[in-house]
Every structure is written in structure tokens, then in C-alpha cells.
């Protein structure tokens, strides 16, 4: 995993399930979509999924509900590509004042959307390439072995957790993210035929609850006749599968306790 591959790209954090409108839709349709989704702007696509415009709540203020979207949508578009550096997309949003950018392929067909919220999420996301590289380096130094890293799909049922508890409030957030199609790999160490989940317990359990069979993961492959610290930890806590992880229902995530203040 070299420095180039460690750069965060738009494809790592964009939302793939996008709410859209057609040019023949009306302002009334747009209002209904705003009410139903909670979003305030949408790409406008043609029958071939090509992005031909963009419409926001500001565009329809005071406009007759029967007016078609094609007559009020913005046709001067800023778009992103999947392979773009996430920081470049962030710069475009900052400089143009746009909170979202449609992500298109080489034929201008919609493949996703990236928002400023996704950019913020990338800065606080735990399962990033730099963390994978640090973990890999640590394993190699401590155990004197060589490791290999790649991205692949891991069966949720085969994951061995290394964390005994997760928080219900955080779990709800992860379930919501997965339903939106947000990409967020977990971190796994593969040793022999076992897969130890190092980071991403909330997402893995969310996937289990949603019936998702496989998750994308950064996989660190380790070979050697020695016991990793996480192996000892999992064994000590009796963790053999995600079903062994306790979901804490009544206690909020520690970060919520730290930041919450009763203003009443």
C-alpha cells in the first residue's frame, strides 16, 4: 500500500444511492421529495442517467407548483469524479459555495453524490488507510514478520470481534449510513483462516442486523507461528463471533456524554 493508494478518493465517501428528479417532474414533486427525504437539493437526470441539471429548495421559492423542473433547474454544474482526491472535491465545494457535488462517470452518468458532510466524516473516520498502515507497521516491528495489505470483501459471519461492547445509539447511525450506501471499510487482520475485526465493530454489527453477508475491508494478512495481542484479547473475553458482542442500550456513546450539555 503506497502513498498514492492511501489518498482518500471521492469514491471512498460518496453516497451511491442518490435521490434524483427528472426534467418533466414539477416543482410540486420537488417539494414532496424534500419533505420525504429531508434533503434540500437533487441532481436532475435524463432517461440515460446523465446529469443535466441540479435543483435546490432556493430555486423553487415562490415558483408555481405546476412548473416543470427543467424550467427552474440550474444548468451550470460543478461535478466530481470517483477517482478525484477527496481534498480536491472539498476545495471545489468551499470555493463555489456548493454543499454537494454530483459524481459522474466519463459519459456524465450519475454514479453518486459527495457532500460537505461526507468530507467532514472522512476527517473523523477511524477506518482510514493511514491507520491501516500504522497497524501494519506495528505488527511487523513487534513480531518481526512481513504483512500484506489489500482491500476485499469479508463474510460478516466469519468475523471474530476484538471488542466486547458497542453502543446502541452509534449502531443506529451506522445502520442509517449503510442504508444510504456509504462506503466505509472495516479493518481486519487475517491470520491462518481466521479474520479478526480490529476496527469497525458498529458497522459490522449493523451489517449483521441488516442481513448483509459481506463487507468491504482493509485486510492485513499475517503469517507466522505466534499469537497476536488481539487473539489473546478475543480469547480472554470469549469472543468467537459478532453475536458475542454486547449492545449497550441505556448508555450513550462516551463522546455524546462528553459533548452533551443540558441547556434547560
Domain with residue 191: its CATH number is 3.90.1530.10
Residues 66 and 164 in one domain: no
Calculate mean pLDDT across residues 114-122.
80
Higher-confidence position of 226 and 29: 29
Residues 139 and 97 in one domain: no
Higher-confidence position of 171 and 25: 25
> Does residue 125 carry a pLDDT above 60?
no
Residues 134 and 72 in one domain: no
Higher-confidence position of 33 and 223: 33
Residues 98 and 156 in one domain: no
Closest CA to 94 of 124, 120, 116, 123: 116
Would you state the pLDDT for residue 253?
54
> Does residue 23 carry a pLDDT above 70?
yes
Higher-confidence position of 226 and 103: 103
> Does residue 263 carry a pLDDT above 50?
no
Residue 220 forms part of a structural domain: yes
Residues 35 and 111 in one domain: yes
Residues 44 and 78 in one domain: yes
Last residue of a domain, one of 89, 122, 155: 122
Residues 62 and 131 in one domain: no
Would you state the pLDDT for residue 260?
45
Instruction: Answer for the pair 165, 236: CB distance below 8 angstroms, yes or no.
Output: no
The percent of residues in the chain predicted with pLDDT above 90, rounded, is: 53
Domain with residue 67: its CATH number is 3.10.580.10
Residues 254 and 131 in one domain: yes
Would you state the pLDDT for residue 251?
60
Residue 264 forms part of a structural domain: no
Would you state the pLDDT for residue 6?
54
**Around 258, how many Cα atoms within 13 Å sit in the side-chain half-sphere?**
3
Last residue of a domain, one of 122, 142, 160: 122
Q: Over the stretch 43-93, which tens digit does the pLDDT of each residue have?
A: 999 999 999 999 999 999 999 999 999 999 999 889 999 999 988 999 888
Exposure string of 87-119, with b = 16+ CB inside 10 Å and e = fewer, is eebbebbeeeebebbbbbeeebebbbbbbeebb
**C-alpha grid cell for residue 172?**
443506529
Distances (CA, A) of 23 to 46, 153, 233, 240, 245: 7, 38, 57, 53, 48
Residues 133 and 223 in one domain: yes
pLDDT band at 128 (very low <50, low <70, confident <90, very high): low
- Structural domain boundaries, residue 36: 3-122
Would you state the pLDDT for residue 185?
85
Q: Beta-carbon neighbour count of residue 138 at 10 Å? A: 11
Number of structural domains in the chain: 2
Would you state the pLDDT for residue 124?
54
Residue with cell 459527495: 114
Last residue of a domain, one of 77, 103, 122: 122
Residue 146 forms part of a structural domain: yes
Would you state the pLDDT for residue 46?
96
Residue 87 forms part of a structural domain: yes
Asked whether the CA dihedral 114, 119, 125, 128 is positive or negative, the reply is: positive
Round to whole Å and give the CA distance between 203 and 206: 5
Would you state the pLDDT for residue 171?
86
Would you state the pLDDT for residue 206?
93
Residues 72 and 151 in one domain: no
Residues 135 and 103 in one domain: no
Residues 225 and 213 in one domain: yes
Amino acid at each position: 500500500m503506497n502513498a498514492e493508494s492511501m489518498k482518500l478518493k471521492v469514491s471512498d465517501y460518496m453516497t451511491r444511492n442518490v435521490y434524483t428528479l427528472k426534467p418533466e417532474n414539477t416543482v410540486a414533486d420537488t417539494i414532496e421529495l424534500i419533505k420525504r427525504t429531508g434533503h434540500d437539493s437533487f441532481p436532475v437526470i435524463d432517461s440515460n442517467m446523465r446529469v443535466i441539471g441540479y435543483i435546490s429548495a432556493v430555486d423553487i421559492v415562490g415558483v408555481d407548483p405546476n412548473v416543470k423542473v427543467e424550467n427552474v433547474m440550474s444548468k451550470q454544474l460543478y461535478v466530481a469524479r470517483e477517482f478525484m482526491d477527496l481534498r480536491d472535491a472539498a476545495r471545489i465545494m468551499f470555493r463555489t459555495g456548493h454543499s454537494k457535488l454530483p459524481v459522474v462517470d466519463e459519459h456524465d452518468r450519475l454514479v453518486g453524490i459527495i457532500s460537505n458532510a461526507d468530507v467532514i466524516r472522512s476527517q473523523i473516520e477511524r477506518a482510514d488507510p493511514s491507520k491501516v498502515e500504522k497497524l501494519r507497521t506495528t505488527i511487523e516491528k513487534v513480531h518481526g514478520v512481513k504483512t500484506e495489505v489489500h482491500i476485499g470483501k469479508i463474510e460478516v459471519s466469519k468475523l471474530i470481534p476484538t471488542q466486547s461492547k458497542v453502543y446502541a445509539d452509534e449502531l443506529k447511525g451506522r445502520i442509517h449510513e449503510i442504508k444510504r450506501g456509504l462506503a466505509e471499510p472495516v479493518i481486519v487482520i487475517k491470520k491462518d483462516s481466521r479474520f479478526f475485526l480490529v476496527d469497525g465493530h458498529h458497522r459490522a454489527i449493523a451489517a449483521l442486523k441488516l442481513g448483509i453477508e459481506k463487507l468491504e475491508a482493509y485486510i492485513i494478512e499475517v503469517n507466522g507461528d505466534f499469537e497476536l495481542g488481539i487473539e489473546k484479547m478475543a480469547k480472554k473475553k470469549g469472543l468467537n463471533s459478532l453475536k458475542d458482542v454486547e449492545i449497550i442500550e441505556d448508555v450513550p456513546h462516551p463522546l455524546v456524554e462528553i459533548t452533551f450539555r443540558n441547556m434547560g
